[in-house]
Amino acid sequence: MEFMIGVFKSRVKGKTKIGQNASNVLVEIASENRLQRPFPVTNDKEKKALTEANSVEGMEMWGPFGVIKIEDATRHLGINGAKSLIERFYIRYYGKDKAVEADDKDVIEIGYNMRMPEGIVFGCSKGHIPGNRVHYFAKLNLRLDVIKRGRNILMKNLAYFGEIITYFRYTPVGGASVLLAFVKVFDVKSGPVFPFKIPSAPTKIIVVSVHEVVSLCGRYLSADNREHIFWKDYQLHELPIGSITLI
């Protein structure tokens, strides 16, 4: 007990937002002590956080860390077609002129937690410990072409909701490193107040930038078996909810 108190106290830094800092340290320690892991964890004790090439201050990927090849995403993460998912992300996010050709032998660096600039730590479903608070269901803001026909293009910002499977850093050949996430997106409908999904709602796994993950969400089940979604600073009629067929 005394040892763990000492470990905890040594990691709580700063004199402002001590409560948030302490909460983040608890998440970090819990992740490090998790026994069941889907991939070999690195033993680099100096590796505290990973950032991307054009790093935003305060945005960091935290461990436990792992390194796998893209072709091993099915075995370690349960994700099929990871190579294609990464390539489609680059086309959607950066445009066809900045498309990349990923290779199944390319390496991705995996992390279980993402510290956002506001100081909040987002988790992932792969790193979730049963019985703990769920902090991996999130709201996404995606900019998409809503026409997708011929040369006609109409870009719109749309809201999506899904479970973050895991975070990872990817560096394409000759390109800059970026922080990304595999997300299982649900088909969500607009409600009178809160958006909702039904148990049979279709899902789709996509890759997103961590900059597109904007808020953690809560969920509650109503009497009609609809799972209603809410989040901090919720405002009625903010961004329209996108169709899962567009992603």
Could you report the per-residue pLDDT of 17-68, keeping only the tens digit for each? 666 666 665 655 554 444 334 444 444 445 578 999 887 777 899 988 999 9
The answer to whether position 201 is within a domain reads yes
How many domains, in total, are found in the chain?
Answer: 1
Looking at residues 120-141, what average pLDDT do you find?
88
DSSP state of 42: P
| Domain-located, residue 11 | no
- pTM for the structure as a whole: 0.79
Of 137, 65, 47, 57, the residue nearest 108 (C-alpha): 65
Mean pLDDT of 83-111: 93
- For residue 112, what is the enclosing H or E element? strand 107-115
Residue 140 lies in a domain: yes
Tokens at residue 58, please? 């305060």
Is residue 23 situated within a structural domain? no
Higher pLDDT, 197 or 239: 197
Answer whether residue 60 is part of any domain: yes
Say what the pLDDT of residue 24 is. Answer: 62
User: Would residue 3 count as lying in a domain?
Assistant: no
Mean pLDDT of the region 96-103: 91
Which residue has better confidence, 173 or 31? 173
Q: How do the residues of the chain divide into helix, strand and coil, expressed in percent and rounded to 5?
A: 25, 35, 45
On whether residue 219 sits in a domain, the answer given is yes
Domain that holds residue 112: 34-246
Residue 120 covered by a domain: yes
